[in-house]
A = this chain, B = another copy of it.
Amino acid sequence: MSSRIVTISREFGSGGRTVARLTAEKLGFDYYDNELVTKLAEESGFCEEFIRENGEHASYTNSLLFGLSIASMSNGYNMSSFDKLYIAQQKLIRELAEKGGCVIVGRCADFILRERRDVLSVFIHADDDYKAKRITELYGEREESVQKRIRDKNLRRKTYYKYYTDRTWGASGNYHLTLNSGYIGIEKCADIIADLARAGRAE
């Protein structure tokens, strides 16, 4: 049985978002990245800017909450806006998965959908030099060094993932497949993922 859902987590600068878009095109799947932000804003009432800023990386504030139990969220009592956003996002990702035929970027989707047998879960990373070159080409030079921008953004994604899943972001055991996009190439990454999604689970 082929996999109807592909989740793609990615390091900032690895080109993982492009890999995800190409994979969706090759499979004829819906693609959810910014599209998810819009949908979430419509359904949850959070404004798009708040979702974009807090929907998949820790803000400086909530990274300090590290260590608080997620269990306290279950009754909705004392939930922060960040936690409410996570819950709304989780609900939406589960609904999208139910429909199937989609590629979902980031937002702990690999963890949220981990019990499903029709999910292919992928992580895209790259060497530091490759990421720095790519980010500079895409977004230009800024006052802050490109190395610092990459380090900070990836640390915020890692912290967010740890907080909501209690897992290590990028640990191979969380994914069916991890790819170094610099070594393999963006197009080839998408080919491998699309091919594996079509083949589905071997077990």
How many Å lie between the Cα of A184 and that of B120 in the bound state? Answer: 10
**A192 — which chain B residues lie within 8 A by C-beta?**
192
- Copies of this polypeptide in the complex: 2
State the main secondary structure of chain A at its contact with B. mixed
Task: State in angstroms the CA–CA spacing of A123 and B180 once bound together.
Answer: 12
Q: Is the CB of B173 within 8 A of A184?
A: no
Q: Are B196 and A184 in contact (CB under 8 A)?
A: yes
Interface check A138, CB cutoff 8 A:
no
A182 contacts which chain B residues (CB < 8 A)?
A: 202-203
Give the distance to chain B from A203, nearest Cβ to Cβ, in Å: 5
Complex: how many Å from CA A170 to CA B172? 6
Chain B residue nearest to A11 (CB atoms) is B173
Q: Shortest Cβ distance from A123 into chain B, in angstroms?
A: 6
